[in-house]
Amino acid sequence: MQNILEQYQSVSEDSVSTWFRVGEVSDFPENSGACIKYKTKQIAVYNFTRTSKWYATQNLCPHKMEMVLSLGMIGDKDDIPKVACPMHKKNFSLEDGSNLAGEDLKIATYPVKIEDGNVYIGFAD
Ligand code: FES
């Protein structure tokens, strides 16, 4: 059986081959997440207005394989922006996708850019 996690690989800004437009800035809630679809992937997009930063990660929580991270609470821990999964509250860094409790769980992260009021997410496929 193919591991559903395998399709989610972090993308660095250098390796982007497609900037995929996902909507306008005003389509996204402030200081919260939203879910978009790219090919077969569900991607959670977060708009931190407090720091004027945007983040994108896989929507799939690797703990119990639930598509829920866009519904998680966002905030920061020791200045690291993070999302807390709504199911069992595991915290993931929005910068590198690592589990902030040091557990062996990781989520993929994707670059986001804003241009002329439009939101784009970078993919390598
Ligand atoms: S499913 Fe996300 S923390 Fe358990």
Using one digit for the tens of pLDDT, what is the confidence trace for 16-27? 999 999 999 999
Domains parsed from the chain with CATH numbers: 4-123 (2.102.10.10)
* Two tokens, residue 39: 């090919």
Token pair 């972090």 is at which residue? 10
Tell me the pLDDT tens digit for each residue of 31-78: 999 999 999 999 999 999 988 999 999 999 999 999 999 999 999 999
Look at ligand 1, atom 3, and give the residue with the nearest C-alpha: 88
Is 64 near ligand 1, meaning CB less than 6 Å away? yes
Report the mean per-residue pLDDT for the chain.
Answer: 95
Give the model's pLDDT for residue 2: 55
Name every residue whose Cβ is closer than 8 Å to that of residue 48 and which is 6 or more positions away in sequence.
31, 54, 55, 74, 81
17 CA distance to ligand 1 centroid (A)?
Answer: 31
Give the model's pLDDT for residue 1: 43
Give the model's pLDDT for residue 43: 98
Q: Edge to edge, what strands does the sheet with 33-38 contain? A: 33-38, 41-48, 53-58, 109-110
Residue 1's alpha-carbon distances to 5, 6, 58, in angstroms, are 11, 11, 20
